[in-house]
A and B are shown apart, each in its own frame.
Chain A
Amino acid sequence: MTRFEPKIIAFLCNWCSYVAADAAGVSRFVQKPNVRVIRVFCSGMVDPSYVIKAFASGADGVLVAGCHPGDCHYLAGNIKALRRSFLLRKLLSELGVEEKRFRLEWIAASESPLYAKLMNEMIEDVRNLGPCMPSSQKPLKGVA
C-alpha cells in the first residue's frame, strides 16, 4: 500500500513568509513535496472562504502565514487575519475539519529554516490524520 501523501495549500504573504519560502529554496532546505504555495499580498487578504474553498477542493491542510505582529507591511493586516482565524477555526470544526489541518503562523523573511521546519511538521501532522474526510464521510469537494 502506498503511503498517503497529503496536499497542503499555503497562503503566504508577499513580504515575509513568501520571502522565507524563497530563501528556504535558495538555501536548499529540503521539504517534503506536499505543499502548494499561493502568493497573496498580506495574510489579512486571505478571505476565510479561500480556506474553506481549499478544503472543499480537496486540500488536506491549509496554512496561512504572515509577518510577525508589529512587522506587517500593511501595519496590522496580520492581526486582522488572526482576528478572523478564531471564527474560522470554529467553522472548520463544525464542518468536521480537524484542528491540526489549519494553521496560522508568523514567519519572518529571515526565518527560512523555520518555514521548512514548520512545513515538514505540518505535513506529518496532516499525514497522520489521513485524507480530509469531513463528517459527511465524503470529500467536501463542490461545496464552496
Chain B
Amino acid sequence: MKKVGVYICHCGTNIGGTVDCHKIAEELSSEIGEVAVCRDYKYMCSEPGQKMIRDDIAELGLDHVVEASCSPKMHEPTFRNAVSAAGMNPYLFEMVNIREHCSWVSDNPDAATDKAKDLIRGGIARVTHHEPLTGSKKSVNPTALVVGGGIAGITAALKIAKAGYQVFMVEKEEIIGGKMAQFDKTFPTLDCSGCILTPKTSEVGRNPHIETMTKSEVIEVSGFVGNFKVRVLQRPRYVSVEKCTGCGDCQQVCPINIPSPFELGMTTRHPISRPFPQAIPNTYSILRAGMPPCQSACPAGVNVQGYMTLTGVGKFDEALSLVRERMPFASACGRICVRPCEDACKRGQLDAPTAICFTKRFLGDHEKETGLQPNPPMKESREEKVAVIGSGPSGLSAAYYLSIEGYQVTVFEKLPVAGGMLTVGIPAYRLPRDVIEAEIANIRDMGVTIRTGITFGKDLTFESLEDEGFRAVFLSTGLHVSRKLNLEGEDLKGVMGGIDLLRKVALNEQVHVGKSVIVIGGGNVAVDVARTALRLGATKVDLLCLEARHEMPAWERELNEALEEGVTIQNSLGPKRFIDRDGKICAVEFKRCTSVFDANGNFKPTYDENETVELQCETVFVAIGQSPENNFTNSLGLETGPGGTVSIDTETMSTNRPGVFAGGDCTLGPATFVQAVAHGRQAALSIDSYIKHGGLREIRPAERKVAPEIGEAEKNRARPIERSAMPVLPPEERKKSFEPIELGFTAEMAMTEGQRCLACGMCCQCGECVRKCGPQAIDLSETERIRELEVGAIVVATGIDIFDAGKYPEYGHGKYPDVITNLQFERLCNASGPTGGKVVRPSDGKVPKSVVFIQCVGSRDRAKGYEYCSKVCCMISAKQLSIFKHHNPDGQAYVFYIDNRAGGKGYEEFLRRAIEQEEAQYIRGRVAKVFEEGGRLIVRGENSLVGHPVEVEADLVVLATGLVPQKDYMNVGRAINLSTDRYGFFMELHPKLGPVETSLAGIYLAGGCQGPKDIPESVAQGGAAAAEVLALFSMGQVEIDPTVANLDERLCTGCRTCVGMCAYNAISFDEQRKVASINQALCQGCGTCAAACPVAAIEVQHYTPDQIFAQIEGILAS
C-alpha cells in the first residue's frame, strides 16, 4: 500500500476560521488506510510548513503528498518545489483547493468542513494514481516582442534591449509614445511630458537592438514560452522610413484636410503628415482609411476621390491624368457612364451624391479647350507588336494601356470608323462625335495605329497576325447583331433592328423612318432608338416593352428625358404578330405580358393571349438586345459560353488559345461602357505580363474597403454646398436635332463638386506628394502585409483609451465647442498643439476667465460609465487647473468632485497647492447639466456638503474623462490568448503577487492594458515585465510541462478520429504501422484527442481517466 502524507493548511483564519482543519486531519488519518500521516498547520506555505513536508518525506518514506490549502494557481509551484527538494518527483504531489472554492465561499462551517473533507478525499484517491513525470527542456529564443509603444512598452523594450537582447516593438499608431505623447505636463512635478518622453522615444529609434513596426497589429500568437510564433499585420505607411528626410514638402501640396486624431479633432491635418515634430519614427506617413466606396464601385477602379479632390483645388490637368490611369475616355465616360460611383457616394446619404460623372466630363471638356492632353507617363518603347481586334471602348482601352507600357499596338476595325458602340451605338445627342473623335485622336497620338475597314476572319486571321509578328491578340469585337423576335412578319419592309438604325444614322446612311413609329424593347438602346426616331422626323413614337415601368432596365434619367421629348411608353406588352399591308408593315398586335421573370429572377415571360392590343405604325424597331456574330466567333476555334460569348478567365482575360485575350461585350454579353474599359485595361496588364514573363499577371491583394455607411467623422467633414445641376437644352429644342442635350459644367461648378467630396478614404492617392517628394520616399501602391516573428517572450503593453464623453449628453460634449475632455485640454496647453500652447476657448479663441472641471466622467458610475475609479483624473484636474492659473493668474477654476483621491508620492501636497495657492474652488457633488444661457455656459450641480444646488458660469468646461480599455481589447486578447476582466482589462496572474505575469508563461503585461494607472506605475510595470523577460532569457531554457498526450499503440485501431481533433497538428497517422503518432513537442495537453478516442488509447499524462475516476470516487465516497 502506498504511503500518502496529507497536509491541511489553516491559512491563518482564511481556511481555519471556517473549516475545522484539525478535525478533518484526525478523521482522515483513521478513515483512509493510505494516509500515513495527516497534519494541519497554520501556514503550510511558510518555511516551517514546507520543512514539515520535507521531513516527513525523508523520515516516513512517503510515496505521495496531498496539500490542501489555497488555489493551485497560487502555490502549486511552491509545494512542488518543496517535495522536489526532498527528492520526490513533483508530479507525485496533488494540491486541493479548500480556500477559494470552500472556506471563502461558505457561510456554514459544518458544511464547509464536510466539503473540504470530500475535496481532500478526492485528492488522496487521485494522488495514489500519480506517476513520476519529467518535462523536456526547450531552449529559449532570446528575442522579445513588445506589443504597444506607449511609455510602459518603451520602458520594457529599452530595458530588454539594454541587456543586449533583440526586441521587436509593434505599435498600432504611426508613431510611438502612446498617450503620454499627447500630454502637456505631468503631475505632481509639472514636468513637461514631451521633454521626459522624447528622449526615451528617440532612444528606441536609435537602439540597434529594437526594431519598431508602426501601424502594425499582432493578429496571432502560437507556440509556447521561449518559442512563440507571432503573426503581425503591417498596414502601409506609404512613406519609406529609410528614405524620408522629414522635410515636409509633401504636406504642403496635399489637397486634403482631415481632423487630426492626435489633436482629438481640435485641428486638421493632411493625410500625409506626422503628429508632432519630435515624433518617432521621425518621418511622415499617410493616413488612408481604405478604398473609398466610389472607387470600389467603379468597375474600372478609377480613383474618383483623387480626381474629385484635385478638381476641387483647380488642378484639372492632374485630375484628368489621374482619371486616365484607369479610364482613357474622360469625356465619353462623363457623358454616358451608368455611374455606380455616384450610387455608392456616401454624400448621397447626407444630401445628394457628388456629381462625379459631370465633373469628369468637365475635365474632358477642359482638355478640349486647352488642347493639352494629360496622360499617364509613357514607359520605354518596346519592339513587341500587339493586335487589337475591334475599336470599341474595350479594344481602345487595351490599346491605350499597352501603348503606355511601350508596345507597338495596331487596332483593326471592321467598320469605316473607329470607336465601336461609342460611335455607332450611342446617339450624338448623348455623345457628340467630335468628343469621341478627340479621345480617339489622343490614343492615336500616343502611337496606336488604328486601321478601319478590315474584317477579322476575312482580311486577317490569327495565323496571319502571327506571321506578321504580333505577339498577342486582344479580341474585343462587341455585340453588333440585333437580336430577333423570331415572329411572323419580322422581315417585312419597315421592320428593323434597333442598333441597325443607330449604326446607319451614325454612318450617315440613308434610313427611312415613318411618321408613326413603334419601338419594341425596354432597355437603353430602345430608348435611344425612340429618341433618334423622333429626331429623324417621326411625330408619334410608342415604346412598348414586356416589363412593368419599375422593371424596365433602361435608365430612369433617359426614360424621363424621352418622356419629356414626347415618346409614349406602354408597359407589360409583348409583340404577337406583325401585320402588313401590301408587304409593308402597318400595325403590330401585342398581347398582355403577365410576368417577365420567374420566381428565381430568370427571364421567363408569361402572357395572356386573350388580351391583345393592335397598334398602327409605319415603322417598327426591334431593340430587344444584341448578340455577337455567331458564325464569326464559331470560326475562331475559341471556347464560347452562353449566347455565343467568348469564354475567358475573368482574372487574366485569357482565352483557351495561348496569346489570345478577349474582353468587353463579346465576352460579357450586353454590358456597360465602363465594364468594357475595365476589361481592356485588365487585358493590357495581362498581355504585358504574358509578353514579358510568358506568364499571367500578378494579382495584388485588393485594398481594404471603407465602410459603405456614412460615419460621424465624414458628416462633420461635409462642406455645406449643394450639388450643382447640369444645364440642359429644353425638350422642345433638343428633339429637333442631334445637338448634345447636356451643356456641361463650368470650372466653378466642377470645383465646388470636388469640394463636396467627403474624403471617405482620407488620403485620396492623387499623387501630388509623390510628384513633390525629392527623395522619392512615397509609394502609394504599398499594401498590407503579414510578417512572421519568432520570439521567446511577449510583453503586452497596449495601453488605455479615454472614456467617450458623448455618453453623458447632459454635459454637452460635442454640442458646445467649449466643453472639452481633459485630454483635449492637454493639447490646448501644449506648445505643439492646435493653439500653440495658448489656453483659449475653442469657440472664439478668447482666454477663458472661469474654467469648470467636472470629475468622474465615466468613472465610479455604474449607470452610465464604469464602476471603477480611474485613479488619475483627480490629479489631472489639479494639474490642469494649476497650468490654467499659471497661464492666466486672474482666472478662477472650479472643480466638481466626488472624492479627491490623491494617493501617491507628492500627490496630496500637490492637490493642496491647487486648492490653497491656485485658489481653486472645490465643490463636492455631481454635475447634473451643462447648458448655454445668454451666450455663457452654465454648470448646474449640487453642493452635497451643504445640500444645495449650485450654478457656476463657465467660459470653458473640462470633463475629467476616465480611463477605459482600448476599443480593440477583444482582438488583442484573442490574438494573444489573454483573459480579460469584466471591463476589458487584461488579467494578471495574481492581483497581488503576479501583477505583470499572465496565466500564460512567457507573456507579461505592463501599463494601462491591465488597469487604469498613472505614468510612474506604468513605467514600474514596464520595468517589472522586462525583469521577467530577462529572467527567462538568462535561464536559457524552459521545462515543458510533461502533461501531454500519450498513445498506447497496442490499443490504437487507426481510426484517425484524434488526427482531426488536434488543433496543433501534433497527431499524424503512421501509414506504415496504421496507428496514430503524437508529436509531444507540439502537443499542448488540451486532451480533446483523449476524450475523443473511441478505444481510450490516448491519455493526457497527469490527467488520466484512472486519476479522474479515482478523484470522483474519492470526493463522492462519503
- Expressed in whole angstroms, the Cα–Cα distance for A117 and B104 within the complex equals 15
Flag whether A130 is at the interface (Cβ < 8 A): no
Closest residue of A by beta carbon distance from B99: A25
Q: Complex formed: what's the CA distance from A37 to B73 in Å?
A: 14
Please give the distance in Å from A31's CB to the nearest CB on chain B: 5
Q: Is the CB of B114 within 8 A of A33?
A: yes
Nearest-neighbor residue (CB-CB) of A74 within chain B: B1086
For the side of the interface on A, what is the size category?
A: 35 or more
Contact B100 A26 (CB under 8 A): yes
Bitwise interface map of A from 28 to 63 toward B, beta carbon under 8 Å scored 1, else 0: 111101111111111011111110011001110000
Q: Closest B-chain residue to A80, C-beta based?
A: B1088
**Bound complex: CA of A25 vs CA of B19, how far in Å?**
14
A74-B1084, A80-B1088 known; A108 vs B1105 contact (CB < 8 Å) = no
CA distance A135 to B987 in the complex (A): 46
Are the C-beta atoms of B1063 and A25 separated by less than 8 Å?
no
Whether A109 sits at the interface, judged by CB under 8 Å, is: yes
Task: List residues of chain A with CB within 8 A of the CB of B1084.
Answer: 74
Tell me the residues in window 1-28 of chain A with beta carbons closer than 8 Å to chain B beta carbons.
Answer: 5, 7, 9, 15-16, 18-19, 21-22, 24-26, 28
The docked-state distance in angstroms from the alpha carbon of A39 to that of B97 is: 10
CB neighbours of A35 from chain B (8 A)? 101
Smallest CB gap from A59: residue in B = B1116
Cβ–Cβ < 8 Å partners of B1088 in chain A? 42, 44-45, 74, 77, 80-81
**Would you list which residues of chain A between 109 and 125 have a CB under 8 Å from chain B?**
109-111, 116
Whether, in the assembled complex, B1092 has its beta carbon less than 8 Å from a beta carbon of chain A, the answer is: yes
- Name the contact of B999 in the complex, choosing from A7, A19, A29, A110 (C-beta under 8 A): A19
A90 contacts which chain B residues (CB < 8 A)? none
- Is A76 part of the contact surface with B, judged by Cβ < 8 Å? yes
Q: What separation, in Å, do the CA atoms of A40 and B1100 have in the docked complex?
A: 11
- A71 located at the interface, meaning its Cβ lies under 8 Å from any Cβ of chain B in the complex: yes
A73 close to chain B: CB less than 8 A:
yes
Minimal beta-carbon separation of A45 from chain B (angstroms): 3
In the complex, per-residue mask of B1077-1118: 1 if CB is within 8 Å of any chain A CB, else 0: 000000011111011100010001001010011011101100
A84 on interface, CB distance cutoff 8 Å: yes
Report how far A16 CA is from B691 CA in the complex, Å.
Answer: 59
CA distance A111 to B983 in the complex (A): 11
Task: List the B residue with the shortest CB-CB distance to A50.
Answer: B1108
B1087 touches A45 (CB 8 A): yes
Complex Cα gap A41–B1108 (Å) = 12
- In contact, B1087 and A116 (Cβ under 8 angstroms): no
- Closest residue of chain B to A111 (Cβ to Cβ) is B982
Residue of A nearest to B74 (CB): A22
The yes or no answer to A75 lying at the interface (CB within 8 A) is yes
Considering only residues 94-140 of chain B, those with a C-beta below 8 Å from chain A are 97, 99-102, 104-108, 111-112, 114-115, 118-119, 122
B105 A28 Cβ-Cβ under 8 A: yes
* Residues of chain B with a CB closer than 8 A to A48's CB: 1091
Contacting residues, chain B, for A24 (C-beta < 8 A) = 100, 105
Q: Are B1113 and A57 closer than 8 Å at their CB atoms?
A: yes
Most buried by A among B108, B111, B112, B982: B982
Q: Which of B957-983 contact A (CB under 8 A)?
A: 973-974, 977, 979-982
Interface pair A80/B1061, CB less than 8 Å apart: yes
Q: How far is the CA of A6 from the CA of B1087 in the complex (A)?
A: 29
A94 to B805 CA separation, bound complex (whole angstroms): 57
Interchain CB contact under 8 A, B112 and A33:
yes
A33 touches B1105 (CB 8 A): no
Scoring A residues 113 to 144 as 1 if CB is less than 8 Å from chain B, else 0, what string do you get?
A: 00010000000000000000000000000001
Within 8 A of A (CB), among B211-252: none
Are A25's CB and B977's CB within 8 A?
A: no
Contact between A16 and B71, CB atoms less than 8 A apart? no
Minimum distance in angstroms from A114 CB to a CB of chain B: 9
CB of B476 within 8 Å of the partner chain: no
User: Do B1112 and A57 touch across chains, with their CB atoms under 8 A apart?
Assistant: yes
Q: How many angstroms between the C-alpha atoms of A28 and B106 in the bound complex?
A: 8
Q: Mark each residue of chain B from 760 to 777: 1 if its CB lies under 8 Å from any CB of chain A, else 0.
A: 000000000000000000
Give bound CA distance, A21 to B73, whole Å. Answer: 12
Are B1105 and A49 in contact, with the CB atoms below 8 A?
yes
* Residue of B with least CB distance to A109: B979
Interface size class of B (residues with CB under 8 A): 35 or more
Whether A7 pairs with B1116 at a CB distance below 8 angstroms is yes
Chain A residues, Cβ within 8 Å of B1096: 47
- Chain A nearest CB, measured from B864 CB (Å): 20
Residue in contact with A41 in the complex, picked from B97, B991, B1103, B1115, CB distance below 8 Å:
B1103
Query: A75 near B1116 (CB under 8 angstroms)?
Result: no
Question: In the assembled complex, how far is the CB of residue B965 from the closest CB belonging to chain A, in whole angstroms?
Answer: 11
Residues from 10 to 41 in B contacting A, C-beta threshold 8 Å? none
Contact B71 A42 (CB under 8 A): no
B314 interface contact, C-beta 8 A: no
* B1043 within 8 A of partner (CB): yes
Q: Is A110 a contact partner of B980 (Cβ separation < 8 A)? A: yes
CB neighbours (8 Å) of B489 from chain A are none
A84 to B104, CA, bound (A): 34
- Docked Cα-Cα span, A73 to B115, in Å, equals 29
User: B72 near A: Cβ within 8 Å?
Assistant: yes
Distance, CA A49 to CA B114, complexed state (A): 26
A80 B1091 Cβ-Cβ under 8 A: yes
Within the complex, the shortest CB–CB distance from A41 to chain B, in Å, comes to 6
Q: How far is the CB of A141 from chain B (nearest CB, A)?
A: 9
* A36-B1109 in contact (CB<8A): no
Please report the C-alpha to C-alpha distance between residue A5 and residue B110 in the assembled complex, in whole angstroms. Answer: 13
Distance between B777 CB and nearest chain A CB, rounded to angstroms: 41
Contact with A along B477-492 (1 / 0, CB 8 A): 0000000000000000
Given contacts A9-B1112, A30-B105, contact A16 B111 (CB under 8 A): no
Find out whether the CB atom of A22 lies under 8 angstroms from the CB atom of B106.
no
Q: In the complex, what's the smallest C-beta–C-beta distance from B1061 to chain A, in angstroms?
A: 6
Asked if A33 and B72 make an inter-chain contact with CB atoms under 8 angstroms apart, the answer reads no
Q: How far is the CB of A35 from chain B (nearest CB, A)?
A: 8
Contact A36 B105 (CB under 8 A): no
Q: Is the CB of A31 within 8 A of B106?
A: yes
A41 B1086 Cβ-Cβ under 8 A: yes
CB contacts (< 8 Å) of B1112 on chain A: these are 9, 38, 50, 53-54, 57, 59
Q: Which residue of B lies closest to A51 (CB)?
A: B1112
B71 in contact with A9 (CB, 8 Å): no
Min CB–CB distance B686 → chain A (angstroms): 40
- Is the Cβ of B1091 less than 8 Å from the Cβ of A29? no
Whether the pair A38, B1092 counts as a contact (CB closer than 8 A) is no
Please indicate the chain A residues that have their CB under 8 angstroms from the CB of B1091 in the complex: 44-48, 80-81, 84
Q: How far is the CA of A46 from the CA of B1115 in the complex (A)?
A: 17
A16 to B978 CA separation, bound complex (whole angstroms): 10
Whether the pair B979, A110 counts as a contact (CB closer than 8 A) is yes
Q: A19-B73, A33-B111 are in contact. Are A54 and B1116 (CB under 8 A)?
A: yes
How far is B119's CA from A22's CA once the two chains are assembled, in angstroms? Answer: 15
Whether B1087 lies near A25 (C-beta < 8 A) is no
Question: By the criterion CB–CB under 8 Å, are A41 and B1043 in contact?
Answer: yes
Chain B: minimal CB distance from A29 (Å):
6
A71 touches which one: B99, B119, B974 (CB < 8 A)? B974
Known: A36-B118, A45-B1088, A116-B105. 13 other contacts (CB 8 A): A25-B71, A26-B100, A33-B111, A36-B1116, A40-B1087, A41-B1043, A49-B1105, A50-B1108, A53-B1112, A54-B1112, A74-B1088, A80-B1091, A109-B987
- Top 8 nearest A-B pairs by Cβ distance? A45-B1087, A25-B100, A74-B1086, A44-B1088, A33-B111, A109-B979, A75-B1063, A25-B104
User: Could you give 29 example pairs across A and B, Cβ below 8 Å?
Assistant: A9-B1115, A9-B1116, A15-B979, A18-B73, A22-B97, A25-B71, A25-B100, A25-B101, A26-B100, A33-B106, A36-B115, A36-B119, A36-B1115, A36-B1116, A39-B72, A41-B1103, A46-B1091, A71-B973, A71-B979, A74-B1063, A77-B1063, A80-B1061, A80-B1088, A80-B1091, A80-B1092, A109-B980, A109-B981, A109-B987, A116-B105
> Which residues of A are at the interface with B, using a C-beta cutoff of 8 A?
5, 7, 9, 15-16, 18-19, 21-22, 24-26, 28-31, 33-42, 44-50, 53-54, 57-59, 70-71, 73-77, 80-81, 84, 108-111, 116, 144
